[in-house]
Amino acid sequence: MEYREIVSVTGIGGLYQLLSTKSDGAIVRNLADNTTKFISARLHHVTPLESIEIYTTGNNVRLHEVLDQMQKNEKSKPDVKKSSTDEIKAYFREVYPEMDEDRVYVSDMKKMLKWFELLQANNLLDFSSLNRPEAEDVTDTEGEAQVAEHAKAETAGEVTLVEDEKPAKKARAKKAAESAEGGEEKPAKKAAARKKKEGEEEEGEEKPAKKAATRKKKED
């Protein structure tokens, strides 16, 4: 088991090892009790820890960079259950001074402390492969995305990279749908016009018969 395999699941606490994925969800194993369960894609969003970023006063950093610093300052790590908000904030100021406290909430900090303990218990705090230059190139190409401004109401406000649906795609889809609807009406209009024309031609064919009857009457 490696750090790259670890994911978080929205709406469910803890961390999980991603075992396999399906079209409708994923199979994961809980790091806390080793139980295996199915996660429905309709109800939950599975996020690899490797893809999570943390807001800073400069460029955002990967979660593992903060966890690595926490590992180096483990002795001063507060107890997430007993420590006050001020103590937790003071710890992260010491561990990662560049962290943006305006956008990284205390709930985020508590989550990182809990995740650190789970990862430590499972010997998953070795980030040497992630810190190599080639590893950074791979993660950078995972998607050119905008950094989402997260709200407190979301699941503890973890900072992830998301890609918004482009309005142009919506416009093209709408236009295609309208064109499809318009295209279905044209054959009906042509059929109606053709039927009307045929009716007029039939009426036109009756006129010579009427003239012939009138001429015969005069001859008599």
DSSP assignment of 158-176 equals --BEE-PPPHHHHHHHHHH
Per-residue 3-state assignment (H helix, E strand, C coil) for 2-31: CHHHEEEECCEEEEEEEEEEECCEEEEEEC
Residues 155 and 171 in one domain: no
Residues 131 and 185 in one domain: no
Distance of CA 88 to the CA centre of its chain: 31
Residues 157 and 186 in one domain: no
What is the domain count for the chain?
2
Q: Which residue, 162, 189, 212, sits at the end of a domain? A: 162
Residues 80 and 177 in one domain: no
* DSSP annotation of 77: P
Written as tens digits, the pLDDT of the chain (220 aa) is: 899 999 999 989 899 999 999 889 999 999 999 999 999 999 999 999 999 999 999 999 999 999 999 998 888 889 988 999 999 999 999 999 999 999 999 999 999 999 999 999 999 998 887 766 544 444 443 433 333 333 333 333 444 433 333 444 445 555 555 554 554 444 555 555 565 555 555 555 545 555 555 555 555 4
Domain of 79, CATH number, reads 1.10.10.1650
Q: How many residues does the chain have?
A: 220
How is residue 195 written in tokens?
A: 């039927």
Residues 140 and 41 in one domain: yes
The dihedral sign for the CA sequence 148, 153, 154, 157: positive
Residues 201 and 104 in one domain: no
Residues 81 and 171 in one domain: no
The Cα 18–Cα 181 span in angstroms is: 44
Q: Which residue, 128, 162, 196, sits at the end of a domain? A: 162
Residues 12 and 60 in one domain: yes
The Cα 56–Cα 69 span in angstroms is: 14
Residues 128 and 49 in one domain: yes
pTM: predicted TM-score of the whole model, two decimal places: 0.59
User: Helices marked H in the chain — which ranges?
Assistant: 63-72, 85-95, 106-121, 133-140, 167-219
Residues 175 and 77 in one domain: no
Residues 134 and 198 in one domain: no
Residues 107 and 128 in one domain: yes
Domain residues for the domain of 187 are: 166-220
